[in-house]
Amino acid sequence: MTLVAILFGTLTAGIGSVWLAALLSFGVLARYTQHMLSLAAGALLATAFMHLLPEAFESQAGAHALFTTLLVGLVFFFLLDKAELWHHGHEHHAPVHAEGDAHLHHAHGHSHDAKSGGWAILAGDSVHAFGDGILIASAFMADLRLGVVAALAVLVHEVPHHMGDLMVLRQTSNNRRVAVVKVTLAGAVTALGGVVGYALVDQLYDYLPFFLVIASSSFVYVALADLIPQLQKRVSARETAAQIAWLAIGIGLVTLISGIARSH
């Protein structure tokens, strides 16, 4: 009975949060793509700095070990991006002969730059979802009602951050459905974390802070290396104010929802 509850709770939290985020990102807020990039950057940074990292550092793990994990994670996702861009560059390389071709090559290269961050987001999402699954499993094993509250808290606090994920993946492909499917598959890893947590909760508990830090490194890297550079363009004062406002909204949403989740 407990395992069934864990599976239901983890799937609801992991997949439900993705579908709700997709409904908001591609439905209600679909017209505001540039604003959603700012929101995504704010949500990813806030998820890392206001939720995941504080939770990791509240554990018994040493600060030096956690900071080392964060550094290794950032370097790893940088190398992952390099490998992805190198692969795309060789796969689509073509000689440039004329000025018109040079312009086309520049535009094509820019589209490859936009692809960066996709694998990092999915890897970070999967690690984060696995950790969420362990947390939900731990709550269900302690008390059924606590498990339900934990699953709902994860569902709600993941929505703004999945909106950010979808905006990143939207840059890699014009197919919204593909972006939703990819993030849904990463979100489904929550159930795997739940099952593993049910079986090995005592053994894995000490490693949970490191899962949180690795997930944080992916979100920080994507926000700073992929999203924010896209916002660093010469725009009007009004557009700049809008970028800052939506960045703040992304930070505020995650901070508020994480605070509510912690209070319960």
Q: How many CA atoms lie within 13 A of 7 on its CB side?
A: 6
pLDDT at 210: 85
List the one residue out of 123, 248, 259 whose CA is nearest residue 185: 123
pLDDT confidence band for 100 (50 / 70 / 90): very low
- Token couple for 48: 């890392």
Backbone angles phi, psi at 179, to 5 degrees: -60, -45
- Please tell me the total count of domains within the chain: 1
Rounded to the nearest 10 degrees, what angle do helices 63-91 and 99-115 cross at? 150
pLDDT at 198: 86
Model pLDDT for residues 179-215, shown as the tens digit of each residue? 888 889 988 999 998 898 888 877 777 787 887 788 7
pLDDT at 47: 78
Average pLDDT over residues 102-126: 55
Instruction: Identify which of 181-185, 228-232, 257-261 has the greatest average pLDDT.
Output: 181-185
List the one residue out of 187, 172, 165 whose CA is nearest residue 41: 165
Mean confidence (pLDDT) of the chain: 76
120 vs 147: CA distance, rounded Å: 29
Model pLDDT for residues 38-93, shown as the tens digit of each residue? 887 888 788 788 877 887 888 888 999 999 999 998 998 788 777 655 544 544 44
Instruction: Identify which of 5-14, 152-161, 205-214 has the greatest average pLDDT.
Output: 5-14
pTM equals: 0.62
Domain that holds residue 56: 2-263
Contact 223, 45 (CB under 8 A): yes
